Chain A
Amino acid sequence: MAIAQIVRSLPLCKTHLRPSSILAPLMILILNIMDMPTLNLIGQDRPRLIQTVLAKPVITERLFEMGIVPGEMIEVVMKSFVGGPVIIKIHGTHIALRTEEAACILLKTF
């Protein structure tokens, strides 16, 4: 199950991860194995803590500006069809993210 999820998120990493961090896909792989999923893979069950954001600088910056920073609680409100946007809730606001952006947000499990 975990492997299938990783395979699914790998092409997403390529599009949005910072080109400099070659290790990033590997990191996502490890995090997934350790059950630290990315935002696009979790369900609408409960709020989770953001571990880190691994995206191209411009996207990371926009996410940060909107308050999506490590250490904050984030929750999935609604998921559309496969590949469509994910609606998340953070600081009481709903924000729509593409699956690609959601794949850049790594979460902690607790």
Chain B
Amino acid sequence: MHPAQNILMDQCRVALVGSPNSGKTTLYNKLTQSNHKTVNYPGSTVDYHMGKIAKTHGPDVTLIDTPGIYSLSPKSSDEEVTLKLLYQDPAPNLVIATVEISQMARQLLLVRQLIEANFAVILAVTMSDQIQAQDVSLEPLREALGVPVVLLSSKTNQGVSNLLELVLKRTTLLPTAPRRAATWEEKDFETYVALNKEIVAQVFAKGIENKLAKTTLKLDRVLLHPILGSMIFCISMFLLFASVFWAATPLMDLVDAFFGYTANSIMSLEINPLLRDFLGNGIVASIGAVMVFVPQILILFLGMSLLESSGYLARACTLVDHILSRFGLNGRSFVPMLSGYACAIPAMMAARSMPSKKEKFLTLMILPLMSCSARLPVYALLLSFLFLGQPAYKPALALGGIYILSLLLGLLASWLLSIMLKTQHTSFLIQELPYYRMPQARAVLGQALSKTWSYVTKAGPVIFLFAVVFWIATTFPNTQEEDPVLQLQSSYAAKTGKIFEPLVQPMGGDWRTGTAMIAAFAAREVFVSALALVFQIADEDEASIQKGLLSKMETATNAKGEKLFTFASVMALIVFFMIALQCMTTVGVAVKEFGGWTWPLVQLFVYTGVAYFLSVGMFQLLKHI
């Protein structure tokens, strides 16, 4: 309403702080009435989120959702985010400390540290729907800690208005200057855990039955079983990726056909030919290039949030830890790596929850090798060219092979790097396994949508901009030329492409492939739309962009009259796209996550260099077959 107020620093700020998986984000969504992701995986919030508390009256209150911490001495960079927020100037006026009702004995340790550090604390006991409210007495908690306590059930909204009232009453408080919490000795932990257990015993004086714990125990005996558990893990991963391909294909075809149709309708309009070409070939084709892989990314994120919110993802990390640790990684690398199959950008952010600096570094290093969904349109095009007119299972199998190969490449890179970097580091896996819960459809969908949306908004504009620049480069300066082929050959793009032609020729391309490959450095999927542009397919009377492109690719010849797209040159392109780091948005995020330019540039040049030499080798090897 008053945008100026948002920048005022003197408004009331309330921080939500608590152990991982203690219900902070659920509470945040309740209080701000936003639809932020909530998942059942420790460490799923890696950055803080701010929002206005939704209410009918009173002053503006900003609520901050923070990554979970176990104590005030951080061990990973997502925990540092919370600590920085707590100790920045001005400090938050108020801290809502969340504690899950069944985990109080452990999680109250953090609350004690917060109180000791002089923060104004309101204790929120969450997820009380696990038990009957009348069986719990909060008095012992209030007495022992000396802070207001609220019992919350986010499912039934119980206690939310109560908490809101408490917060509003305290907004007049000045920010309290926090002290550094005294570092606890080992004895302190022992004493406080014992004290917490006494309190818990009083809170549940009537006795409770924890059904979730019972089902969790039963399920873990199966899902974490050495043999059975590994089998279930493999099957669930297979199902996840299979559904990404099979369920997404019809949706992708639909999106593709829609944009192909729109481009064609624009091309048949009776307007200025330059404007018509800009709209059809420039704008619509570029938007199409961004949108066509959205179904895929959405389905992978849907599957992931389903696994996350059920509590299985934390188990999956445990199951793969032993294998990943052989390559210098950690079980916790699993979540970033899996996200990497959708997009490297959220994946790099997910790596923040890794405690060991070296393992986090290795994970960040290999993430660009994971076969992200932006490569998919490229593979889809190249594979359907290779297997033109053959049964559909063949390209699907080849694609599966590419995915597995990219995982193996990543492991190889990590292993090589871990040998080269002989730094001492403490590696550990102390992974909390949350109770299994029934995933909530709304939350799962909301999370998948928000991740997909953040991808579209982060990578979309860059891709779009490059595509428009690319259109200009292919159209100008010779706009008066009637013959599109001649116009293209005298364009800026062709001139640039011809400079790079000697580089591309050893891998079986000519200036047109070269131009498309340069364009792909904005984002990989631009390769497809760039090819579409250099081959002028929107002029064709074809149902979809892809079909038009395929028929053009079949007949394309280079200057010597040889076929441009052969088995060898397409294989060389696939190899190049598997390894090269071609996504400038990823480099940008990597600079932030590595905390400097050195390693992102190493990634950019080493991966692209290796990709180039391997693909040249591939072409030279295969061209005589």
Residues of A at under 8 Å CB distance from B? 16, 53, 56, 58-67, 69-72, 77-81, 83-85, 87, 89, 91-98, 100-101
Contact = CB atoms under 8 A, between A and B. Distances in A.
Most chain-B Cβ atoms within 10 A of its Cβ — which of A59, A65, A78? A65
Nearest to B225: A78
A51 to B, nearest CB: 12
A62 B106 contact: no
B189 A96 contact: no
B429 A85 contact: yes
A77 B219 CA distance: 11
B186 A65 contact: no
Nearest to A90: B106
A65 B317 CA distance: 21
Contacts of A62: 70, 75, 355, 428, 430
Interface string B205-248: 00000100100110011001110010000000000000000000
A91 B433 CA distance: 12
Given A64-B186, A67-B106, A85-B321, A95 B432 contact: yes
In the complex, which range does the number of interface residues on chain B fall in?
35 or more
A91 B105 contact: yes
B224 A80 contact: yes
Interface of B: 70-71, 73, 75, 102-103, 105-106, 109-110, 184, 186, 189-190, 193-194, 210, 213, 216-217, 220-221, 224-226, 229, 314-315, 317-319, 321-322, 325, 331, 355, 426, 428-433
A19 B431 CA distance: 24
Contacts of A83: 322
B414 to A, nearest CB: 18
6 contacts: A59-B426, A64-B189, A69-B193, A80-B226, A84-B322, A101-B430
Given A80-B226, A91-B105, A65 B426 contact: no
Contacts of A79: 226
Contacts of B71: 61, 65
Contact of A96 (B184, B213, B217, B429): B429
Contacts of A80: 224, 226, 229, 318-319, 322
B428 A100 contact: yes
Nearest to A68: B430
B430 A63 contact: yes
Most chain-B Cβ atoms within 10 A of its Cβ — which of A79, A84, A89? A84
